[in-house]
């Protein structure tokens, strides 16, 4: 199977948790794990992406990605790091505006270590749980069909060789806010629920069978975990990191 799609078996020994966009707020993520008494020998932590940028601890992402109990899909901020080119003024300004200064200023050999880690992150992940098959990706499922998404990603072996059409399809997967903004979509077939981030909300919100887990932590709101057994969100407040207030959709 392509490294761009990951499939996890049911966790028969412990619990699974899904966390919304972390954006460098790893201190608060540790607080969340303490709150739920996370046990790394049995439990697993799953991420919907955007582990980096804006928050003060983005550089710690390599430590987190190395934990054997941590599984993360790639978000648009990891993708921006992969696509960043210092020689491209537009690329540099766009990434700097989106909180990529921590990455831009690093020596090239350090940048390469982060690029290798980010390129190894799958674009989508599925995990079996007591409720059925749960999907995870960053923004939305193109075509609202998980089975088609799985088949598509299985066929991608080298992202540098993607066609223009496939690049647009990948863009929707990690950038789309159509459903979040009220666009006409359908429930995603092939999974009982899809967990995403990308669009900050005041609270975890469900649209169709898509659960939005980004509760605006880096903007001085809160960071949220969704346990896949109880489906009852757990949050901790996050102090204002200096990025100001961003409109949080209700």
Which residues does the annotation mark as catalytic? 77
List, as one string, the DSSP characters of 164-223: HHHHHHHHHHHH--TTTTT----PPBTSSEEEE-SS-BSS-EEETTEEE---BGGGTSEE
Tell me the C-alpha distance between 136 and 127, whole Å. Answer: 8
Helices in the chain by DSSP H: which ranges? Answer: 26-35, 61-65, 76-83, 89-97, 101-104, 108-119, 146-154, 164-175
Dihedral pair phi/psi, residue 195, rounded to 5°? -100, 130
Q: Tokens 């921590």 correspond to what residue?
A: 102
């Amino acid at each position: 199977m392509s490294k761009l799609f990951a499939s996890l078996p049911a966790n028969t020994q412990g619990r699974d948790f899904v966390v919304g966009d972390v954006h460098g707020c790893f201190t608060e993520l540790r607080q969340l794990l303490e709150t739920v008494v996370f046990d790394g020998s049995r439990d697993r932590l799953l991420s919907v992406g955007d582990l980096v940028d804006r928050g003060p601890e983005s550089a710690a992402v390599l430590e987190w990605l190395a934990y054997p109990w941590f599984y993360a899909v790639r978000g648009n901020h990891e993708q921006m790091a992969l696509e960043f080119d210092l020689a491209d003024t537009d690329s540099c300004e766009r990434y700097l505006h989106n909180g990529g200064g921590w990455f831009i200023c690093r020596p090239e050999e350090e940048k390469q270590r982060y690029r290798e880690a980010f390129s190894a992150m799958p674009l989508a992940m599925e995990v079996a749980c007591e409720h059925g098959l749960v999907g995870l990706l960053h923004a939305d499922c193109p075509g609202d069909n998980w089975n088609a998404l799985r088949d598509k990603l299985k066929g991608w072996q080298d992202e540098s060789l993607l066609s223009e059409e496939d690049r647009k399809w990948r863009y929707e997967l990690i950038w789309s806010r159509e459903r979040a903004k009220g666009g006409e979509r359908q429930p995603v077939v092939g999974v009982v629920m899809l967990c995403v981030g990308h669009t900050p909300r005041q609270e975890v919100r469900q649209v169709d069978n898509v659960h939005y887990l980004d509760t605006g932590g880096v903007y001085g709101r809160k960071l949220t975990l969704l346990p896949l057994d109880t489906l009852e969100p757990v949050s901790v407040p996050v102090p204002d990191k200096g990025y100001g207030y961003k409109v949080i959709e209700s």
